[in-house]
Amino acid sequence: MNQKEKNLVEQNIKFAYWKASKWVKNINNPNMMDDFVSLCIFGMIKAAHTMDETRQIKFTTYANTCMDNEVMLFLRKNSKTAIPFSCVGNLNNGEFEEIDIERIIDFSSYEEDDNDKIDISEIVNNLPDREFNIIFMYYFCSYKEYEIAEIISTSQSNVSRIKRRGIKLLKSMINVWKQDVS
């Protein structure tokens, strides 16, 4: 890191701490503060290193995006740390009382009707090949986005965009199907 990059990082270090505190509030986990500070500082270092001054953009604007990207990449890679649904419960008098899913969702209001059944395979097969392959690898083969990116020789962010576009397409195709049935 050259002196100019070092100065940019040192001058904006409080911004990295502020950004980390925003992520901690957003995630609602104060134990992650050190991790988020490290990630934000790393994102700021990346921003200082890759900043293109010919683009007429402020460093803090660019650094903000880089810090967000670092934190989101970390959260995506560590998404398995989520609390399983079975661990949701109340603590009554020192004893853990598990909450039944039936207490949260009233299944009695959902009646099964043959007219409401959808042949999802027919809709999924109408997806473009690229979206179909990425959705299939992600949801059915349990590949991570970065693994899919390596397989199809593209970036993880591009895989994320294609996956989102495919899901959006699936939703619109299902809505069209629902309108046709009605």
Domain check: are 11 and 76 in the same one? yes
Residue 48 lies in a domain: yes
Residue 94 lies in a domain: no
Containing structural domain, residue 34? 3-81
Domain check: are 12 and 55 in the same one? yes
The CA distance from 15 to 41, in Å, is: 9
Domain check: are 75 and 8 in the same one? yes
Domain check: are 7 and 76 in the same one? yes
Count of domains in the chain? Answer: 2
Residue 160 lies in a domain: yes
Distances (CA, A) of 26 to 15, 19, 90: 16, 11, 23
Domain check: are 7 and 69 in the same one? yes
CATH of residue 142's domain is: 1.10.10.10
Long-range contacts of 152-159 (CB under 8 A, 24+ apart): 156/73, 159/134
Q: What is the pTM of this model?
A: 0.46
Q: Which of 36, 57, 81 is the last residue of a domain?
A: 81
Output the tens digit of pLDDT for each of the chain's 182 residues.
Answer: 789 888 888 999 999 999 999 888 877 778 888 889 999 999 999 999 888 888 888 888 899 888 988 888 887 777 544 333 333 344 445 454 544 444 444 444 445 555 556 666 677 778 888 888 888 788 877 888 988 888 888 899 999 999 999 989 988 888 887 787 76
Domain check: are 120 and 60 in the same one? no
